[in-house]
Amino acid sequence: MSLRYRRSEQMLERALRVIPLGSQTFSKSITALPFGVSPYFVQRAKGSRLWDVDGNEYIDFVNGLACVTLGYCDSNVDDAVRRQLDCGVTFSLPHQLETEVAELLVEMVPCAEKVRFAKNGTDATSGAIRVARACTGRERVAVCGYHGWQDWYIGSTSRHLGVPTAVKALTHPFRYNDIASLQRILDDHPGEFAAVILEPMTSEYPRDGFLQQVQESARRHGAVLVFDETITGFRFGPGGAQQEFGVIPDLATFGKGIANGYPLSALVGLARHMDAVEQVFFSGTFGGETLSLAAAKAVLTKLRTEPVIETLKTRGQTILDGVGGIISDAGVDRIIAISGHPSWSFLHFRDAAGFSRWQIKTFFLQEVFRRGIYTLGTHNLSYAHTDQDVEALLACYRQVFPLIGEAVDDGSLDDRLECQPLVPLFTPR
């Protein structure tokens, strides 16, 4: 048992008796965190910092899997939630917050004319697909990126156990920045596609008018264009990636940072599509839960009154530039690369000298965790991150990247690992 993570490992043993994988989320479980060198349970968090149950402190660049955009325990958000708590949480009638937050979304998001609330990204994307199918009378869906755990999407991935074959056959993946891959599947089934859904950006910027071409292809084939902005929304811009890139979809889904960690998601879109929700069954008791709506109102208001997005971009660009320089200086560009948007950037680990990228990533996690940096290989910025936090991240990488290079070059990586390497189970993107 690790001394640094003793309590975490004890709690993991206890959790595994009653919770599959010991967590509600794959990315917070033993599938993503190598045993013996990782924290598994959090005690508390504040601003940009997180403390695990063993008392270890981290600068957190995961931020609740990108749902915390303002920072933990943001005072504006928490004060709004406390005020609403005194008035009640879930009622027998709609609360005015439902309308107020919907109005803010309509004002901020280019495609939003009407809004439906839910609890997580999967709810919203599944609602979008159901609406698209209802509006078009078609069934096939073209997908690019990660869109949640429901059958209609996950059946197209390696984690399709339990999904009916008939459902799997209706979902067709295409590749980002490869318009031919989309056009091919649309042409193979003319008049059969209800929707084209994609994350407008993950680790790559759209090239050569890709998003515009996707929009044109969807329109030409009579399919509804859906942007899954579960992460990009309220991170890339006040109106999401659609505002950033100037391509307006028919429907869009939001979640994650919409309420700074409180459970809320939204399906928004043009009225001619959203009006179908009056007939489509997309309904849930907790869509109007008011603590999350109060949090969302505070978040959206802060996005409009403070330089949140500008700060994320400035500090994130410092990370992109700084990490790129460290990779070059350490001579590990054949092993590690960085890409993405300043507010959401990705480290990419490559197979090298007989070692798999999973072995290399495991060593990376082992070394950054012990230095007080919490990342899973991405940099999910929050407004609470300071210039000093960014410098601490870069200082950590200045130590760790040369170690990775040495371990790969001299063949000692396995000897330096203090745990079993991660095993690839599912890569969502």
Position 2 scores a pLDDT of: 83
Q: What is the CATH number of the domain that holds 223?
A: 3.40.640.10
| Interval 206-230 mean pLDDT | 98
Is pLDDT at 101 greater than 80 in this prediction?
Answer: yes
Taking 90 as the threshold, does the pLDDT of residue 386 lie above it? yes
Residue-wise pLDDT tens digits, 74-90: 999 999 999 999 999 99
Domain annotation covers residue 351: yes
CB atoms within 10 A of CB 221: 21
**Helices 290-305 and 96-108, packing angle to 10 deg:** 30
Same domain membership, residue 156 and residue 271? yes
Q: Do 103 and 31 sit in the same domain of this protein?
A: no
Name the pLDDT band for 373 (thresholds 50, 70, 90): very high
- Do 394 and 378 reside in the same domain of the chain? yes
Query: Are 145 and 187 part of one and the same domain?
Result: yes
Q: Tell me the β-bridge partners of 173.
A: 143
CATH number, domain containing residue 357: 3.90.1150.10
364 half-sphere exposure, CB direction, 13 A CA radius: 26
pLDDT digits (tens, 9 = 90+) for 10-43: 999 999 999 999 999 999 999 999 999 999 999 9
Domain membership of residue 256 as a residue range: 75-305
pLDDT for 244-257, tens place per residue? 999 999 999 999 99
Q: What percent of the chain has pLDDT over 90?
A: 96
pLDDT digits (tens, 9 = 90+) for 146-205: 999 999 999 998 888 999 999 999 999 999 999 999 999 999 999 999 999 999 999 999
pLDDT tens, 285-301? 999 999 999 999 999 99
Asked whether residue 167 falls in the same domain as residue 102, the answer is: yes
pLDDT score at 427: 74
Statement to judge: residues 201 and 219 lie in one domain? yes
Query: What phi and psi values does residue 141 have, to the nearest 5 degrees?
Result: -135, 130
User: Does residue 429 surpass a pLDDT of 80?
Assistant: no
Burial class (CB in 10 A: 0-12, 13-18, 19+), 220: exposed
**Judgement on whether residues 221 and 361 belong to the same structural domain of the protein:** no
